[in-house]
């Protein structure tokens, strides 16, 4: 597949390689996000040695590691190493003897650490000694979010604070999906993104299906019990170290509509006080998002709700998880019919999240507000009162953006726009501190603007084209 985006990450990695000094690089993020692809793209441009770890026994892992090193250090694989310390001692002597200045990359380090708990401490000594006094670079990557925290990210981790570059790879934004699907309408692009999110591997699989319609792509990859992604969440959870499968019931509960901790606890038949740690684990894995009303203090507020953060997981736990028995014996027509029941809500939820993410950039594109810098946008709600889909206050607290997001399966008309505007203006202002002193900017976000939008200057109008322009700047 084409190497898409990741330009800034690649630029930083290249800069490390050009520095000609010892360095330690850490790359982490959820599975399928493109860590190995980024590593191989970087390593193809410099002297390097890549070891792809697996889940074998330590003795076999060391033998495979030594074999990978053989391409750079002749003869290193001829010996048998009784432990990791002896292998890294030999590697240290080889680096010094050859004045080696390449990149040594270990992909999926958690596989090694899982069977050899002493390895992170050995790597700590290797980084502090061999790497720092040489021109060599050690790069590690890992998909197990919890284990990478225990190795590198946690304050008590052996390698904490030693990374010269510490990169967390996040999902791609929708703009970059256009590179693989250049011919589909932008509205369909958002529909596709609403299911597969910003995960490059899923894009690759969808692209491989060919020129099929979106529903056929989703059916072949996910809904069909033989599809490669039909059991994807279970695989990802089980591959965590330790396995995250015990967290699966929480995802089932949240995915089916339980968003408050009391609701989740009720569905699981557990006390709410027992859910703090497992919910934190899911948040740490970027699978669940804790949402508060805009402007609320996280430590004081009791209004938090929990939502599945990843679009694919949101779709899977809403559509597939609770209907697995149905999908075993159903035909394509039945599967797609069931999917259509849930699709509009899935599209709307993803579109709202995308609009919220790029709302500050969209607001700044309004000519008279180009010099106004807006902070991150959020959603505001309070009890049974009105809800604002988008709220963003400028950095200097002089302006506030209030937005309404409307996903429409049919083309938006001028009549629709008027109804959306009237609804937004009727809400008044959210009860935010000093909001009455701010300049209020009202905005509507729709999939596509009508051909003629009138001369209404009281409210800004944005669509997917505007959002993609903002996403292209990232």
Angle formed by the axes of helices 186-196 and 200-209, nearest 10°? 120
Q: Which two tokens stand for residue 234?
A: 């279970």
* 219-236 mean pLDDT: 96
Per-residue burial over 319-329, b if 16 or more Cβ lie within 10 Å, else e, is bbbebeeebee
Please state, in angstroms and as integers, the Cα–Cα distance from residue 359 to each residue in 185, 294, 352, 370, 374, following that order: 22, 14, 10, 13, 9
* Residue pLDDT, tens place only, 59-85: 999 999 999 999 999 999 999 999 999
pLDDT band at 101; cut points 50, 70, 90: very high
Question: With respect to CATH, is domain 350-472 assigned 3.40.1350?
Answer: yes
pTM of the model: 0.91
Please state, in angstroms and as integers, the Cα–Cα distance from residue 169 to each residue in 10, 181, 210, 306, 394, following that order: 11, 22, 27, 23, 28
Higher pLDDT, 41 or 410: 41
Looking at residue 455, its pLDDT comes to 59
**Residue 456 scores a pLDDT above 60:** no
Q: Where in the chain is the domain with CATH 3.40.1350?
A: 350-472
| Mean pLDDT score of the chain | 93
Q: Where in the chain is the domain with CATH 3.40.50.300?
A: 7-168
* Residue pLDDT, tens place only, 297-339: 887 778 899 999 999 999 999 999 999 999 999 999 999 999 9
Looking at residue 399, its pLDDT comes to 96
**Residue 349 scores a pLDDT above 90:** yes
CATH code that applies to domain 7-168: 3.40.50.300
What kind of fold does domain 176-345 have according to CATH? Arc Repressor Mutant, subunit A (1.10.10)
- The answer to whether residues 346 and 195 touch, using CB atoms and an 8 Å cutoff, is yes
* Residue pLDDT, tens place only, 122-177: 999 999 999 999 999 999 999 877 888 889 988 899 999 999 999 999 999 999 99
């Amino acid at each position: 597949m084409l190497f898409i985006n990741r330009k800034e990450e690649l630029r930083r990695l290249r800069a490390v390689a050009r520095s000609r000094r010892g360095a330690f690089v850490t790359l982490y993020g959820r599975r399928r996000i493109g860590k190995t692809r980024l590593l191989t793209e970087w390593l193809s441009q410099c002297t390097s040695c890549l070891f792809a770890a697996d889940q074998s026994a330590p003795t076999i892992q060391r033998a495979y590691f030594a074999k990978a090193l053989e391409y750079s250090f002749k003869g290193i694989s001829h010996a048998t190493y009784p432990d990791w310390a002896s292998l890294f001692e030999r590697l240290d002597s080889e680096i010094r003897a050859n004045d080696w200045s390449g990149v040594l990359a270990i992909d999926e380090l958690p596989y090694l650490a899982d069977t050899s708990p002493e390895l992170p401490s050995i790597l700590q000594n290797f980084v502090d000694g061999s790497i720092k006094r040489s021109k060599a670079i050690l790069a590690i990557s890992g998909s197990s979010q919890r284990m990478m925290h225990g190795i590198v990210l946690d304050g008590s981790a052996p390698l904490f604070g030693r990374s010269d570059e510490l990169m967390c790879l996040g999902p791609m934004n929708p703009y970059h999906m256009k590179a693989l699907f250049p011919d589909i309408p932008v509205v369909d692009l958002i529909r596709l993104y609403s299911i597969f999110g910003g995960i490059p591997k899923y894009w690759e699989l969808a692209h491989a299906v060919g020129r099929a319609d979106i529903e056929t792509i989703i059916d072949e990859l996910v809904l069909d019990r033989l599809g490669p992604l039909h059991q994807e969440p279970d695989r990802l959870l089980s591959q965590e170290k330790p396995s995250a499968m015990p967290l699966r019931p929480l995802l089932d509960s949240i995915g089916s509509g339980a968003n408050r901790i009391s609701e989740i606890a009720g569905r699981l038949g557990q006390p709410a006080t027992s859910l703090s740690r497992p919910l934190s684990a899911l948040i740490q894995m970027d699978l669940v998002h804790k949402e508060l009303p805009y402007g609320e203090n996280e430590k004081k507020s009791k209004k938090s709700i929990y939502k599945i953060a990843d679009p694919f997981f949101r779709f899977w736990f809403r559509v597939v998880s609770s209907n697995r028995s149905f999908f075993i014996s159903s035909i394509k027509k039945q599967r797609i019919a069931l999917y259509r029941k849930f699709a509009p809500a899935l599209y709307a939820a993803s579109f709202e999240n995308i609009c919220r993410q790029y709302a500050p950039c969209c607001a700044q594109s309004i000519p008279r507000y180009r010099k106004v810098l807006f902070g991150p946008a959020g959603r505001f709600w309070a009890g049974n009162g009105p809800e604002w889909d988008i709220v963003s206050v400028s950095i200097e607290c002089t302006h506030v953006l209030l937005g309404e997001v409307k996903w429409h399966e049919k083309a938006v008309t001028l009549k629709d726009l008027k109804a959306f505007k009237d609804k937004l203006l009727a809400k008044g202002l959210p009860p935010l501190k000093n909001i009455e002193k701010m300049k209020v900017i009202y905005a509507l976000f729709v999939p596509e603007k009508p051909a003629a939008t009138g001369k209404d200057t009281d409210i800004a109008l944005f669509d997917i084209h505007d959002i993609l322009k903002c996403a292209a700047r990232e």
